[in-house]
């Protein structure tokens, strides 16, 4: 028994000595494995980025969260076969079906639609199209308007009634949100071509404005695609943005928000905090300043011009007022996006300040 133990100890000693003598070889192998794994992960991330949707459709943070949850569970569900991703360039302009509405219904629906973030970047013509395309649907108490896992067919805006948003957790239904006589739902499955991420149940009798998936994609996604192309064309013609790479231009275009103003409407006011900058897509802007109690016109900004960037560069309050002259369409870039995306253009912007002798008190 003793001899066996000694032999075992001897064997262990030999093994340890072998490992010690070859530790450099093992270390080299381990490092090589780490490099290989890192390369695989890097390639994997590149492939993931290839499939990120490029259509710049704006949705709220909660909507993006639900979309991410639905996307992560998509491969584990087989309740529905989701349609192919919509290609706005392949879709030819088709006739949009119009549904009759009374003046009161149209006005109420218009008010509700303007509250939806998803629709706030549409041009007036696009907004009118989508307003025409909604039709009224009656629902009964206890009816499931949407079932989790199903294919997306309609986008809904609430006219009347109480609705529960229900999500399955650990095999049990859980109410995660309620809408009472206001709100909208159903857009996520249409935007991302994924199954419904939650169920919607009518708790009372109600009325819903419905928009079919084909019209939804044709107007909203196609409009976003069209707007993005327009923003990219605009960016190419702005001299200070010439330093941006193609990728940076695309990122900038995706962060621009369309803002439309009526004649005489104030865009920014002297003394306000700087919340972003503006690019003029169409129309004119008058920049003025209060000097000793009198309004002094400083300059006019036209199509292809921009304003509001200097206050962001210097962290100063607005030192002038900007007013729309006639109907004005702008592309707005908020302060956070400006800080994140406009770094390559800062030198050119500061050079403009020096070139024109702009002083801090004259900053817009």
On whether the CB atoms of residues 264 and 323 are closer than 8 A, the answer is yes
DSSP calls for 66-115: HHHHHHHHGGG--S--PPPPP-TTTPPP-PPPP----HHHHHHHHHHHTT
Residue 168's φ and ψ, nearest 5 degrees, are: -80, 125
Confidence of residue 47 (pLDDT cuts 50, 70, 90): very low
| Cα–Cα distance measured from residue 292 to residue 144, given in angstroms and rounded to the nearest whole number | 65
What is the arithmetic mean of pLDDT over 63-81?
43
Helix (H, G, I), strand (E, B) or coil at 148: coil
What is the arithmetic mean of pLDDT over 30-41?
48
| Closest among 178, 279, 285, 294 to 234, alpha carbons compared | 279
Q: Looking at the predicted structure, is the pLDDT value of residue 175 above 70?
A: yes
Q: What is the pLDDT of residue 178?
A: 96
Least confident range from 112-121, 317-326, 339-348: namely 339-348
Q: Looking at the predicted structure, is the pLDDT value of residue 41 above 50?
A: no
On whether the CB atoms of residues 278 and 338 are closer than 8 A, the answer is no
Least confident range from 63-72, 179-188, 330-339: namely 63-72
Q: Looking at the predicted structure, is the pLDDT value of residue 100 above 80?
A: yes
The answer to whether 346 is annotated as binding is: no
Choose between 112 and 95: higher pLDDT: 112
Q: What is the pLDDT of residue 95?
A: 75
Could you identify the residue written with the tokens 């030999």?
14
Confidence of residue 120 (pLDDT cuts 50, 70, 90): confident
What is the arithmetic mean of pLDDT over 336-344?
81
* Cβ contacts of 292-297, under 8 Å, gap ≥ 24: none
| Cα–Cα distance measured from residue 33 to residue 47, given in angstroms and rounded to the nearest whole number | 21
What is the arithmetic mean of pLDDT over 153-182?
95
The answer to whether 187 is annotated as binding is: yes
Q: What is the pLDDT of residue 91?
A: 61
Percent of the chain whose predicted confidence (pLDDT) is above 70: 69
| Cα–Cα distance measured from residue 96 to residue 79, given in angstroms and rounded to the nearest whole number | 30
Taking the model in full, what pTM does it have? 0.57
Residue ranges of the alpha helices (H) in the chain? 2-21, 23-50, 61-73, 103-113, 124-133, 187-192, 213-216, 222-236, 246-255, 309-314, 335-341, 346-355
Q: Looking at the predicted structure, is the pLDDT value of residue 328 above 60?
A: yes
CB atoms within 10 A of CB 107: 11
Q: Looking at the predicted structure, is the pLDDT value of residue 231 above 70?
A: yes
Name the maximum alpha-carbon separation found in the chain. Answer: 109
On whether the CB atoms of residues 275 and 311 are closer than 8 A, the answer is no
Choose between 336 and 287: higher pLDDT: 287
| Cα–Cα distance measured from residue 156 to residue 202, given in angstroms and rounded to the nearest whole number | 12
Q: What is the pLDDT of residue 218?
A: 87
| Cα–Cα distance measured from residue 101 to residue 132, given in angstroms and rounded to the nearest whole number | 8
Number of residues that make up the chain:
364
């Amino acid at each position: 028994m003793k001899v066996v133990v000694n032999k075992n100890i001897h064997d262990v000693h030999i093994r340890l000595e072998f490992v010690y003598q070859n530790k450099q070889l093992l270390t080299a192998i381990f490092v090589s494995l780490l490099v290989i794994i890192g390369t695989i992960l890097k390639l994997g991330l590149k492939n993931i980025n290839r499939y990120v949707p490029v259509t710049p459709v704006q949705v709220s943070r909660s909507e993006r969260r639900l979309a991410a949850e639905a996307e992560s569970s998509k491969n584990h569900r087989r309740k529905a076969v989701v349609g192919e991703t919509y290609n706005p360039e392949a879709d030819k302009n088709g006739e949009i079906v119009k549904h009759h509405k009374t003046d009161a219904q149209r006005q109420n629906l218009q008010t509700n639609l303007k509250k939806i973030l998803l629709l706030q970047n549409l041009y007036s013509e696009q907004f009118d199209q989508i307003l025409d395309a909604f039709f009224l649907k009656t629902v009964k108490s206890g009816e499931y308007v949407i079932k989790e896992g199903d294919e997306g067919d309609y986008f809904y805006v609430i006219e009347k009634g109480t609705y529960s948003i229900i999500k399955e957790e650990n095999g049990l239904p859980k109410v995660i949100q309620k809408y009472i006589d206001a709100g909208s739902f159903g857009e996520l499955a249409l935007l991302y071509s994924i199954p419904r991420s939650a169920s919607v149940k009518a708790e009372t009798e109600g009325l819903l404005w419905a928009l079919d998936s084909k019209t939804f994609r044709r107007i909203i996604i196609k409009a976003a695609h069209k707007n993005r192309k327009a923003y990219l064309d605009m960016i190419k013609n702005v001299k200070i943005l010439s330093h941006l790479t193609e990728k940076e231009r695309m990122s900038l275009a995706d962060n621009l928000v369309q803002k439309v103003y009526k004649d005489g409407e104030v865009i920014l006011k002297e003394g306000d905090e700087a919340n972003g900058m503006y690019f003029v897509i169409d129309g004119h802007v008058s920049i003025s300043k209060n000097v000793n109690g009198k309004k002094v016109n400083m300059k006019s900004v036209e199509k292809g011009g921009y304003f509001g960037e200097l206050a962001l560069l210097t962290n100063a309050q607005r030192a002038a007022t900007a007013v729309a002259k006639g109907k004005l369409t702008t592309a707005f870039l908020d302060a956070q996006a400006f800080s994140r995306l406009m770094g390559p253009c800062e030198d050119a912007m500061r050079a403009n300040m020096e070139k024109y002798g702009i002083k801090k008190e004259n900053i817009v």
